[in-house]
Amino acid sequence: MPGKNLSRDEAQQRAGLLSVIGYEVHLDVTSAPDASAATFRSTTTLRFRCTRPGAASFADLLAPAVRAVTLNGRPLDPAVVFDGARVALEDLAAENVLVVEADCAYSRTGEGLHRFTDPVDGETYLYTHYEPAEARRVFANFEQPDLKAPYRFTVTAPAAWDVYSNGAEESVTDQDGARTWRFLETKPISTYLTAVVAGPYHVARDHWSGEVADGSTLEIPLAATCRKSLAPYFDAEEIFEITKQGLDFFHREFGYPYPFGKYDQCFVPEYNIGAMENPGCVTFKEEYVFRSKVTAASYEARANTVLHEMAHMWFGDLVTMEWWDDLWLKESFADFMGSFALQEATKYQSAWVTFANQRKAWAYRQDQYPTTHPITADIRDVEDAKLNFDGITYAKGASVLKQLVAYAGREAFFQGARQYFQRHAFGNTVLGDLLAVLAETSGRGAEAMAEWSAAWLQTAGVNSLTPQVTVDAQGRITELAVLQDGDVLRPHRVAIGLYDREPDGSLVRSARVELDVTGARTVVGELAGRPRPALILVNDDDLTYCKVRFDADSLATLRESLADIREPLARALAWSACWNLTRDGLMPARDYLDLVLRFAGQESEIGVLQSLHVQAAGALEVLVDPAHRAEAGRLLAEGALRELRAAAPGSDQQLAWARFAAQSAVAEEHLRLLAGLLAGTARIDGLEVDQDLRWSFWIALAAAGVADRAELDGELARDNTAGGGQKHAQALAARPTAEAKAAAWSAVADSDALPNAMVGAQTAGFQQPGQRELTAPYTARYFELLETIWAERSIEIAIRFVGGFFPRLQTDRATLDATDAWLTGHPQAAPALRRLVLECRDDLARALRAQAADRG
């Protein structure tokens, strides 16, 4: 598979031939402040060994131009050896030195070396992002995770800038208006983990000190950075508090000292993901710097991300998967450990509630696509790898690890982790390496661990667990069994909870039994003879990964009194189960909306409430029968406004309902309220209409056709920031006119000039629930352009186009047929592209089934 899409077979062949001694990389980014300068100078010196002298191989490089290539002192003609993606290397020696001088491109897609100019003050900022295979956009390398090596970075930048990298600063020298930063050599790491962050960043500093496993004291310098214009909003003290708590926790549980020296956390603009675990130089999306009021759920999410990335310092950076097949060896562990550490080491005590309600919803959705895959996946190439940063690799994997802790025991799990780090430090591993240590520490043995792995890691799909209960004439349980459904039946460690009413009407657990569910039917003998409870909750405490179903009486209890469940985790599980029933067409969508209207206002967990808002909006958009959509929308909007007015002034719930009321607003009086809140002529006690909330209102008014271009431009003048520019673009695209839709489409489809964040803004505004007739004509154009966009754009922008412009709101048979026609007519399209379209197609088909169920 030639070109830039590196295949697993090629990587394996190269790993069998080469080993890397080290890299020296010099980047000259003094041109960055000049917007007309498209490139920067990159010089790489790569020392490596070859097991078969005389053999040939290649280095990876994506660059507009290569100035010079030298192999073992022998000049090579770039026109001959460089094809735009690879540098051919012939007649290798036992030990080799490759020097590549290239002009590499500044990026606006968040891949490679991204350049951003702040509209507030005109300052320019740079940062790198590589995963899975974009380091080759910045320096020549062997772009695969198992060719780890130490790196020494040198960066020449404008004199007023600061520069950060994986290693600590070794020296800084000034010359001719520029400044050159030289960094200490790193420990052996993979190419995708290297990092450079440069610009006039605001920085806060602190340090962590603690005792490590050998009894010595370890000192770790801490830094946190953001753009200067965000400094007034930067709560570095909170970030450092979570960081220190995480370092305390992971040193205590992992027993291996943090190996990468300093710990910088850089919050950067136009970031494609939440964060990236570059050792010593972690990068985060700057949306985690909150410039307006957010709910506690946002602070919890940020803290979880901080701990997720910190867990990667061990799972992923210290010990790295051999190839992307075992991506779960880092991502599943980090996702699990983020929630685990959050619950055990910080003030955020709703981590497992959030995990059950939000993270697992992502996993359930991903695992029911026709493209689902085992946690240990078959990753043929780096395009496949890009798409496998998904709900299975993260959230399902984390759910399975939670099951593993219940199966093997907490201490056995962490003892296995300690042995894993000691045994494989700075190396690469596969699934068997982890199973070997867990077999030793759990006492379960290699055969049992292999069986567990085969059931949970090497098969795809989600099981449903349903209670089956019979009672006698006195209302006592004669038998309670758990039925398991699914293509593959797995062993589940579960808790069965029985819930009864207290005198105050609340539903409280009266009994709990923990057991292993195996096969199609498992009898729970311990519960025979007990009075039939009001509610039977399978998977109480959320120990396993499954879709929870209910017997008829339990479901009736939830319909009458879901909000009466006193325990937040149990209540979150009930909400999650009802949403899965709705998506599966087993609960009419309007029944689910009725639950939200009656009970969401009583939800104390703000993260759960915000999830309910997202799900209710999604149900209204595509799952409700179109003939009843308008009436359902009216009821939802009225309910949102009612809850907004009833919420405690200044509370998180009030803010969440304000956002949802804006999103739901359709009636003229609701839109007038939004306009009045913006103008200051209307007021809701305790509600501060700050900048982010203002944009929420403006986008709603724009989508309804009652905000014109001049008003939106006026708001941009008030908030001429990066975030303001993105919201302004979204609002313009949301307007209900053919001209607005044409402009949004053209901005993305006809030009590659927009940066990643603005592409996202255009697609977010383009499709609005009340504007189906305006976007319907773009269905045919979408399918006509798919392969061209995939071939000509970076994979990040192509993914945004495929998902953002798929006609997801055109929930009719004609759109499904058009999707099927494209899939049938393009069997040779890139597998990653076909996967994305198949997933969009599945969402559409699911919507049509749900509409039929809602129709009755």
Name the nearest CA neighbour of 778 among 751, 823, 748.
748
DSSP 8-state code for residue 604: -
Would you call 309 a catalytic residue per the annotation? yes
* Rounded distance between C-alpha atoms, residue 775 and residue 787, angstroms: 20
Residue with tokens 């045919």: 780
Q: Which of 309, 383, 567, 605 is catalytic?
A: 309
3 state DSSP class of 771: helix
Q: In a 3-state reduction of DSSP, which class is residue 201? A: coil
Task: Give 231's contacts (C-beta < 8 A, 6+ positions apart).
Answer: 202
Phi, psi of 37, deg, nearest 5? -85, 115
> Do 768 and 734 form a contact (C-beta atoms < 8 A)?
yes
Structure-token match 């909006």, residue found: 617
Tokens representing 164 are 């950060």
User: In 3-state terms, what secondary structure has residue 788?
Assistant: helix
Q: In terms of Cα–Cα distance, which of 195, 288, 273 is closest to 235?
A: 288
DSSP state of 640: H
Task: Name residue 282's beta-bridge partners.
Answer: 265
| DSSP for 545-579, written as a single string | --EE---HHHHHHHHHHGGGB-SHHHHHHHHHHHH
DSSP H or E segment with residue 803:
helix 795-805
Label the pairing between strands 86-89 and 95-107: unpaired
Measuring CA to CA, how many Å separate 29 from each of 156, 191, 515?
6, 20, 60
Task: Supply the DSSP string of 709-744, one letter for each residue.
Answer: HHHHHHHHHHT-SHHHHHHHHHHHHHSSSHHHHHHH
DSSP letter for 73, please: T
Matching residue, tokens 């060896």:
329
Report which DSSP code applies to 368. Answer: T
Helices (H), 750-826: 756-766, 772-775, 778-792, 795-805, 813-825
Residue 648 φ/ψ, nearest 5 degrees: -60, 130
The tokens describing 383, both together, are 């395009």
CB 670 within 8 A of CB 698: no
State both tokens at 487.
């293509």
Catalytic sites, residue numbers: 309
